[in-house]
Amino acid sequence: MNDAIEKANPFEIAQSQFDRATAYLDLKDGIRKMLRQTHRELIVNFPVEMDDLSVEIFTGYRVQHNNARGPTKGGIRYHPDVTLDEVRALAMWMTWKCATVGLPYGGAKGAVVCNPQTMSTRELENLTRRFTTEISLLIGPEDDIPAPDVNTNAQVMAWMMDTYSMHRGNTTPAVVTGKPIEIGGSLGREEATGRGCVVTALEAMKIRGINPEEATGVVQGYGNVGSVAAYLLHDAGARIIAASDIEGGVYNPQGLDPRDLLRHAQETGSVIDYPGTEFVSNAELLALKCDVLIPAALENQITGDNADRVQARIVAEGANGPTTPEADDILAERDIFVIPDILCNAGGVTVSYFEWVQDLQQFFWSEKQINDRLSDIMIDRFATVHHLAREKKVDMRIAAYILAIEQVNRATLIRGIYP
């Protein structure tokens, strides 16, 4: 892999991952060209009245990559640095993720360029309601179903659901997932992504002969995904020795209490200054010796520049796109087991699917049913991807891509190219 791709943007990285996998597939050239691109892209510039009565203009995106296997599905990100190419990459990864775990969805993603940390709740509500209105051209329970992502949560989904419902004149819970329980959310959804990460990490530990009771874990990013992964890995017996967020990290080789750390982070706004720990930077944290490293923040964290310093035995990708293709090669050479994002963090969209099914049927399941079904799917798909990786002598990412692209290819061939 050359430097040009390493320094490329997330969408070029997503396309390069796709290209690597298609080398093992017999795709028609037209289908290959189609799947390398996104299908629909909506860019909206819209006004929001701020608390001081000034009007700010925000830019938002909704991108659908592919809908051959069903309605499109994917989260909404609020971030000051988010770009259209990042949203394109995230939409493409959603297509492969849904296919990897066998959900009847295509892939989409949305974002608004904004900094929620500097906005009031009212401003965020206004922004969310106007953005929902702008993208209501595309979204709908049978069309395209958003969910939470970085800096969005159940409350944001509630505003989206309410706004869409107001336009329709009825209540449409199934238009978004990751909602509060009171309005059609699913039990287990908030923990689902972290839970799926830990289920797959435990499977990888079996393969590598690592006893969870003697294992150590390090988590980058202590939001929805990272914090849940940390405490569930801890519940499985492992010692969490470090965790970080955008401000930096905390480290204690004896292990820290992940739930208490979450309380601290919620009270103070960051994991840093947690009693009994020493400060580590995010760069230092990624290089800590541990059994399981869970990157759960943003893209491009493990790159050609630092992959040779990673001392984990397993990398469980809670985040989307945390490892670049060049880093993949280095980690593979060093025999570090990578559970790719499109498998590892697919627990979130899996329980989102359960939520959507429950909303459509108006019939709700117990938390145990949800967690058990989630575990069954994650274990089964992990085994399928691992089997394929061995058979084809490729890494887990390429194996997951082969599996996913083949599903989308078959759906496309069976449906035919319209007209």
The catalytic residues are 109
Distance, in Å, from the CA atom of 100 to the CA atom of 265, rounded to the nearest integer, reads: 33
Cβ 134 to ligand NAD shortest distance, Å: 22
Cβ proximity to ligand NAD: between 210 and 261 the closer is 261
| Contacting residue, 135, 262, 319, 374, with ligand NAD by CB under 6 A | 319
Q: To the nearest whole angstrom, how small is the minimum distance from the Cβ of residue 286 to ligand NAD?
A: 10
The minimum distance between CB 231 and ligand NAD, in angstroms, equals 13
Nearer to ligand NAD, 98 or 319 (CB): 319
Helix axes 258-268, 224-235, angle to 10 degrees: 160
Q: Which residues, at least 6 apart from 364, have a Cβ–Cβ distance to it below 8 Å? A: 186, 187, 358
Q: In angstroms, give the least distance from the CB of 96 to ligand NAD.
A: 13
CA–CA dist 105, 117 (Å, integer): 32
Query: In 3-state terms, what secondary structure has residue 76?
Result: strand
Q: How many CB atoms lie within 10 A of CB 52?
A: 6
The stretch among 11-19, 52-60, 219-227, 234-242 that binds ligand NAD (CB under 6 A) is: 219-227
When asked if residue 399 is in the footprint of ligand NAD (CB under 6 A), the reply is: no
Locus of tokens 């492992």: 238
Helical residues (DSSP H) of 278-335, grouped into ranges? 282-286, 325-333
Q: Is 107 in the site for ligand NAD (CB under 6 A)?
A: no
Residue among 15, 193, 200, 216 that touches ligand NAD (CB under 6 A) = 193
CA distances from 68 to 65, 175, 268, 353, 410 (A): 10, 19, 45, 17, 9
- By CB under 6 A, what part of segment 118-157 binds ligand NAD? 148-151
Judged by CB under 6 A, the chain residues 322 through 381 that form the site for ligand NAD are 345, 348
Beta strand extents in 34-105 (DSSP E only):
40-49, 55-66, 72-79
Q: Is 200 in the site for ligand NAD (CB under 6 A)?
A: no
CB of 22 to ligand NAD, least distance (A): 24
- Return the residues of window 239-298 that contact ligand NAD according to CB under 6 A: 244-246, 282, 296-298
Proportion of the chain in helix, strand, coil states, percent, rounded to 5? 50, 20, 30
Residues at the contact surface with ligand NAD, assessed by CB under 6 A: 148-151, 193, 220-226, 244-246, 282, 296-298, 318-320, 345, 348
